Structure 1
Amino acid sequence: MVLAVAVGAGAGLGAIAFRWLIKTFTQAFSGHADYSAAGHSANPHVPWLGVWFVLLAPVLAGLLYGPLVYKFAPEARGHGVPEVMYAVARKGGRIAPQVAVVKSLASALCIGSGGSVGREGPIVQIGSALGSTFGRVVGAGEDRMRLLVACGAAGGIAATFNAPLAGVFFAMELILTSFAAEGFGMVVLSSVTASVIGRAAFGNVPFLVLPPFHTARPSQLLLFAALGVLAGAVGVAFSKILYAIEDLCDWAWRWPEWARPAVGGLLLGVLLLLLPEMYGVGYPVLGNAVAGKYAIGFLVLLLVGKMVATSLTIGIGGSGGVFAPSLFLGAMLGSAFGILAHDVFGAAAGGIGSYALVGMGAVFAGAARAPITAVVIMFELTGEYSIIVSLMAAIVLATLTGKLLTGDTIYTLKLRRRGIDLTAPAPTSPFAGIAIGAVMEPVPASLPATTSLSQAADTLAASRHGALPVTAADGSFLGVASAREVAEVLAEGGRGGEEIGHVAHVPHPLRADAELSAALDALVSADPWGLPVMDAAGTGLSGWITHQAVLAAAHRRPIAASAPS
C-alpha cells in the first residue's frame, strides 16, 4: 500500500512536469498555447518567417530528441504503451529508469513542435518507468514489480486527464489484463493518489470540456449501433494505416536513426502547412467538431488528415500516444455521421454532439479493444448518465467489429510485427516449442462401452491413472470413465449392471501437434488422472497426457539445453 501511494504520487508529479513541458515547448515552437486552433498564423517569436515556421519546427525538435532517444532510451520512440505491455508480460515489469526522463523530453518536444500524437502513451510509459524503478529500489519480486508498473500507468492517466476511473481500468484492462482483487485495490490507491495531486495542480475539471448531451429517443439506439460498427472499422483502418506508413518510412530511410526525426520532420512540416489543425494533440479542433462547427466535407478531411499526420509522426521516429488521435478520429467520424443522420431523419436523430461523443469512445474501442476503458473515460468526460446505454452499445459493437476484422489491436500489432505474441507462452517457459505428442504417454487399455460398471470398477482400480478411455464397438472414442465417477454411481444405487458408456464423459479435446502449454491449461481444470490426446481424424486416440508427463518435460528441458551439441 505504501508503495502504491508512492508510485501514484510520483506519477502525479510526473504528469504535472510532463504537461508543463508540452506547454512550454508548444509556446516556444509555435508562439501559441495550442497552434491547432490558430489557423495559418505566424509565430510571434519569428514573425519574419510567417506561416512557414511550421516547416522548421518539427525539424529543429527532431534534431534535439532524435539523438536523445537513440543514445539513451530507444524504447522511448513511438507510442509507448506496447513497450509497457511487453515489459509486464515478458520482462517481469523491468523498465529502464532513464525511460521516464527521456520519454518526457522527447514526447514534449515532438508534440510541442507539431507532432500529431497524444500524451497518454508517454504518460503511461513515464508512470510505468517510475513504478518499475520504485520496485527495483525496494527489491520487489516480479509479481509486485508488474503491479507497481500498472500502478504507475494508472496514476499517469488519472493525473494528466483528471480521470481516476479511466486510469484504473486502462491499467487493468490493457497493462495487467487481469482484474484480480489485490491488484485492483493497489491500482485504485495509486490512481486516487495521482488524481488528488493532479487536481491540486490543474483543478477539478476534465481534460476536455464538452457541452451536455443526452439521448431522448430509444429509436436513436439503432443509429448509435450503426455508428459503432462504422467506428470499429475506422479504428482498425487507423491501426493498419499507422503501421503501413511506418513500414514505408522504414523502407525509405537509409541513414543514421538519430537523424530520422529531423529529416522526416520536413515532411510533417509540409502537412502542417497545408492543414494546421493537425498541429499537436488538437483538442481545440476536436471541441469544435463536437460543437458542430464543421461541415461534413471538412470533417472527413480532418479524419483522413489525422490518420496520416499521426502515422507520419510515428513513422519518422516521433514520440507520442495514439489514444488522443483515436478520440480525434472518433469525434470527426461521429460529427459527420450525426450531421448526415440529422439531414436524413431531422430532429428525430437527436443532437450532433452526442454522435461525436459516442464516436470518440467507439473508435478507440475498435482500435484498442478496451471497451471498459472506453466507456469509463467517456462517462468521466461528460458525467452524463442518460447517454450511457447508447455509448455502451456503440462501444461493444465497435469492439466486436474490430475483433472480426483483425486479430490484433493497435498496441499488440506493434509487438507482433517484432515477432512477439503476448498470448503465447513466454520464450523462457520450459514448455515453449514442445508439442503434446513429444511427451504424451501411450493410450491405456480401453473399456468397451458395453462393459458393466461392476466389471469396470475392477479394471479401473488396477489402472495406473484411475481413468480409462471408453470406446464403441468400431473402436471410435466415446469418452473417459474415472474410478471416482464409477464409485459415486455404485454408491448411489448399486447399479452394477449399468453399462460404462452411460457414465463416460468427453473431456477437453487435445491434439498431438498442439503446444504443451495448451495441455497444461486444460490439465489445470481437469481431474488428476490426465486427458486423452485425439488423433488427426478426431475420432480415435493417439496418446494420453498427464500432470506427471508435463512435469517430466519441464525437468528434462533445461538439462537438454545445457548438453553439448
Structure 2
Amino acid sequence: MASNSVFRQQLRKQLATPSTTIAICLMGLTGGILAALMIAGFRLAIEQGAYLVGNGSYWQQPLPTTYRFLLPIIAAAIVYVLFRLSGSKHVRMGIPYVIHRMKQHYGMLPWRSTVNQFFGGIIALVAGFSVGREGPAVHLGAAAATWLGFHFDAPKNAIRTLAACGIAAAIAASFNTPLAAMVLVMEVVLREYKVHVFIPVMLSAVAGSLITEEIFGVASELAVLSAQDIPTTQLPWVMLLGVVLGFVGVLFKKLMLDVMETVQDMSLLTRLLFAGLITAMLAVIIPSSLGPGLTAIEQVLNHQGEMSLLTTLLIAKLFASAIALGMGIPGGLIGAVFGIGAIIAAVFVGAVNGLDIQQPLSFDSFILLGMAGILAACIHAPMAALLAIVELSRSVEIIIPAMLVIVPAYLISSQLLKSKSIFISQLELQGLPYQLAPVHVALQKTGVENVMETDFKLLLEPTQNELVDSLESAQAKTVIVMSVDEDNQALYRLVTYDINAGDSPSLSYTPIKGVRVTSTLAEVYDEIGPKRRGAVYIYETDDGQPCGIVTWELVRKALQRELA
C-alpha cells in the first residue's frame, strides 16, 4: 500500500508539469486504448442492433412501410425512458457539450450523460435517425480516458490532456482517420495547439486506428469512392461547388438552430416524440431518407444522374438531420453533414454534366469534395475537413481540389454570411460557457504540485514569542499557523512581519484556504488573484493536512513562463 501511494505521488507530480513527459504519453496511450475499445463496442452494438431489427442491408433496402413508420417513434420513446431512468437533470451530449466541459471542467463528464450517450446513440443510429456516430464517439472517448485519470488521482491539467487523447482515439476508432482525429481535437475541441498535448494525442489516435483496423479491417467506409485527378480546366467548377456548399451549410445551420430555439421550452418527451414522428413520416414518403450520415452516400451512388430523386433526398436529409439534432436525438452532426454534402455534390455534378461540357465532372471525386466543403462551412475546421476526406478516401490526388472547395465554403460561411461554427452556436443557444480568460487558459495547464513549496513551517496555536522565533529561524521558509474554530474545524493563516509596523516586531496574519493537490494554478488564481497577494495551502488527504504552499509569487512566475 505504501509503495502504491508513493508511485501515485510520483506519477501525479510528473503529470502536473505542462510538458511532454513519459508519464503523460503512457497515460494518454492507455486512455486512448480504453476509448478505442469503448467505441469498438459501440460500433459492434450498432451493427448487431441493425440485424436485430431486421435491417441487414443497413438502410440500403427499404423496410416494410409500417415498420419504417413505427421504428423511429418507438426508438424516441425508449430514449426518453432511458434519460428518465438515468436521473439526468439536463440532457446534454455530443461535441458541443464536450467542448463546454473541456473549458469549464477539464473534460470530466457526468456518468449519467455518458450512459445516456452510449445507449441513446445506439438506439438512435439503429432506428435510422439522420445523425452521425462521431458525436457519441467524442463524448464516450473523453469519458473513458478521464475515468482513467480520475482512477489514478491525476491532476486536472493531465485529465484535460487525457480527455483530448480519448477524443482523438475515439474518432480514429470510429472512422480510422488518425490524422483528422488529431487535428479535430486541436482545431475544434481544444481550439489551440500545444506540443505537450499534441504528442500524447498523436499516440492515442494511432492506438484508436490500429484497434479499429484489427476489429473492423483496414477498409474505409468511403472505399466505394474512387478519387480521380481533376483537370485544371475543371477547378473553377470546384470553387463554384465550394460557394454552393458555403450557402447550403449556413442554411442547414440556421434550420437546425431554429429548431433548437423553437423547442427549447417543450418537455423532453414532446421533443423526442416530435423528432420520431417527423422522421417516421419522412421515412414513409422518402424511404431513402432513413439512415445515419454516411449511408446517404450509398443512396447517392445507387441513383447517379436521377436529379429529381437526388433533389428530393437532399431536402429530406436537410430536414431529417435538422429535426433529429435540433430536438435532442443523441447523435452526431459531422456524419449527417457528410451525407448532405455528398448529395449536394451529386446534384451539382448532374446539373453541370447536363450542360454537355467537354469533359464530364468526376462523380466520385466531387462527392468527396462536397463532404469536405460542407464540413468546413458548418464546423469551421478547414484543416480537419481536408484531412478527413484525404484519409477516408485514401487518396492524395484529392488534396488540391479539396483545398479549393474548402476555402470558398469557409469564407462564404464565416465572412460573407458572418456565421459561427455550429458547435459554438449550439453552446450559445444552450447558455453553456465555452470561453475562458487568457490567464485561466494559461494557468489550467499547470498542476499545483509542479510549483508548490513543500519546505514550510506549520505551527499549532503558537505564542507571539514562538512565532517571532520561528520567523527569525525559518530563513526563507513560509510559516503557517493552525488553529481550531468553535466547530472544531482547522483554520490556517499565513504569518509574516507587518512591514508597516516600523521597528516593532508586529505580525500580520492572512487567512488562507486550501485546494486539493490535483488542482491547477487556475484554481489558485481564483482564490488569491483578485488581491494579488497571499497564498493557498495544498492538501492531499481528506483530513486537509497541508502538504504544500502556493504563494502569489509562484503563480505570477508560472504565468510569466506560460505567456512568454
**TM-score for the superposition, normalised by structure 1:** 0.70
SS in 2 for 1:117: coil
C-alpha distance in 2 between matches for 1:98 and 1:326: 28
Any idea what the Cα deviations from partners look like across 1:213-246, whole Å, max 9, x if unmatched?
2234212111111111211121111111112122
Task: State how 1:9-408 maps to structure 2 within 5 Å.
Answer: 9-29=33-53, 31-39=54-62, 41-42=63-64, 51-72=65-86, 74=88, 77=91, 80-250=94-264, 253=266, 255=267, 257-258=268-269, 260-262=271-273, 264-290=275-301, 293-344=304-355, 346-404=357-415, 405-408=417-420
* Structure-1 separation of matches of 2:412 and 2:356: 25
Q: Structure 1 residues 354, 66: closer, same or farther in 2, change over 3 A?
A: same
Distance, in Å, in 2 between the alignment partners of 1:250 and 1:341 is: 41
Contact 2:60/2:299 (8 A) holds in 1: no
Residues in 2 aligned to 1:188 and 1:428: alpha-carbon distance in whole angstroms = 25
From 530, 543, 556, the equivalent of 1:554 is 530
Shift of 1:52: 1.0
1:292–1:276 distance in 2 versus 1, CA, 3 Å: closer
Q: Describe the shift of the 1:116–1:178 C-alpha distance in structure 2 as closer, same or farther (beyond 3 A).
A: same
The answer on whether the counterparts of 1:117 and 1:325 sit within 8 Å (CA) in structure 2 is: yes
CA contact (8 A) 1:131 1:148 kept: yes
Deviations 1:281-313 (A, max 9, x none): 153431342566242222222122111111221
| Superimposed CA distance per residue, residues 533-559 of structure 1 (whole angstroms, 9 cap, x where no aligned partner) | xxxxxxxxxxxxxxxxxx99832799x
Following superposition, the deviation at residue 167 of structure 1 comes to 1.3
Counterpart code for 1:15:
I
Cα 1:203–1:266 change in 2 (3 A) is: same
Residues 115 and 291 (structure 1), Cα distance of their counterparts in 2 relative to 1, 3 Å cut = closer
Question: Which residue is equivalent to 1:6?
Answer: 30
> Could you list the per-position Cα deviations for residues 451-482 of structure 1 after superposition, in whole angstroms to 9, with x for gaps in the alignment?
xxxxxxxxxxxxxxxxxxxxxxxxxxxxxxxx
Residue of structure 1 in register with 2:429 after alignment? 417
The CA deviation string for residues 360-417 of structure 1, in whole angstroms up to 9 with x for no partner, is 1100110001111111010012222222111111112211211121342111111111
Unmatched runs of 5 consecutive residues or more in structure 1: 43-50, 430-550, 559-565
CA spacing shift, 1:109–1:417, aligned 2, 3 Å: same
Partners of 1:557 and 1:270 lie apart in 2 by 64
SS of the counterpart of 1:105?
Answer: helix
1:34 positional shift: 4.3
Deviation of 1:189 after TM superposition, in Å, equals 0.3
Amino acid at match of 2:395: E
- In 2, Cα distance between the equivalents of 1:369 and 1:217? 27
Q: Is the 8 A contact 1:278 1:306 kept in 2?
A: yes
Task: Write the distance in 2 (CA, Å) between the matches of 1:132 and 1:83.
Answer: 15
Deviation at 1:428, TM superposition (A): 8.5
User: Retained in 2: the 8 A contact 1:151–1:191?
Assistant: yes
User: For 1:557 and 1:250, how far apart are their aligned partners in 2?
Assistant: 44
Give aligned-pair identity as a percent.
Answer: 26
| Deviation (angstroms), 1:278 | 2.0
For this pair of structures, how many residues does the alignment match? 427
Distance of 1:337 and 1:76 partners within structure 2:
41
Distance apart, 1:102 and its partner CA: 2.5
- Letter of the aligned partner of 1:3 in structure 2? M
Letter matched to residue 203 of structure 1 = G
Q: Using the alignment, how far apart are the partners of 1:169 and 1:264 within structure 2?
A: 32
Deviation at 1:108, TM superposition (A): 0.6
CA contact (8 A) 1:292 1:335 kept: no
Q: CA deviation at 1:78?
A: 6.2
Distance 1:101 1:356, change over 3 A: same
Query: 1:11 Cα deviation (Å)?
Result: 1.3
Question: After the TM superposition, which of the residue ranges 154-163 and 71-80 deviates more from structure 2?
Answer: 71-80
**Residue of structure 2 in register with 1:547 after alignment:** none
Q: Is the 8 A contact 1:90 1:426 kept in 2?
A: no
Q: Is the 8 A contact 1:124 1:157 kept in 2?
A: yes
Q: Which amino acid aligns with 1:12?
A: A
Cα displacement (A) at 1:99: 3.4
SS at match of 1:7: helix
137-146 or 352-361: which moved more?
A: 137-146
1:306-364 Cα shifts (integer Å, max 9, x gaps): 11111221234311001011111111111111122222252434312221110111001
The one-letter code sitting in structure 2 at the alignment partner of 1:182 is H
Whether the 8 Å contact between 1:330 and 1:362 is mirrored in structure 2 is yes
Q: Following the alignment from structure 1 to structure 2, what is the Cα–Cα distance between the partners of residues 295 and 193?
A: 42
**Residue 261 of structure 1: CA displacement?**
2.1
1:268 Cα deviation from its structure 2 partner: 2.1
Contact 1:164 1:191 in 2 (8 A): yes
Q: Distance in 2 between matches of 1:79 and 1:330?
A: 24
Q: Provide the rounded CA distance (Å) in 1 between the counterparts of 2:323 and 2:26.
A: 42
* Corresponding letter in the other structure for 1:261: L
Contact 2:294/2:338 (CA < 8 Å) preserved in 1? no
CA contact (8 A) 1:78 1:320 kept: no
Whether the 8 Å CA contact 2:230–2:401 is kept in 1: the answer is no
Q: What letter corresponds to residue 249 of structure 1 in structure 2?
A: V
Structure 2: which amino acid aligns with 1:409? S
Which residue identity does 2:153 align to in structure 1?
A: G
Equivalent residues of 2:263, 2:271 under 8 A apart: no
Q: In the alignment, residue 20 of structure 1 is paired with which amino acid?
A: L
1:103-160 Cα deviation digits (max 9, x unpaired): 1110110111121111000001000111221222222223211111111111111011
CA contact (8 A) 2:256 2:322 kept: yes
* Alpha-carbon displacement from aligned partner over 1:248-295 (angstroms, at most 9, x marks no partner): 3335x3x5x246424542232112111221222153431342566242
8 Å CA contact retained: 1:233, 1:402: yes
CA shift, 1:75, in A, is: 8.7
Deviations 1:76-122 (A, max 9, x none): 94660001111111222221234333211101101111211110000
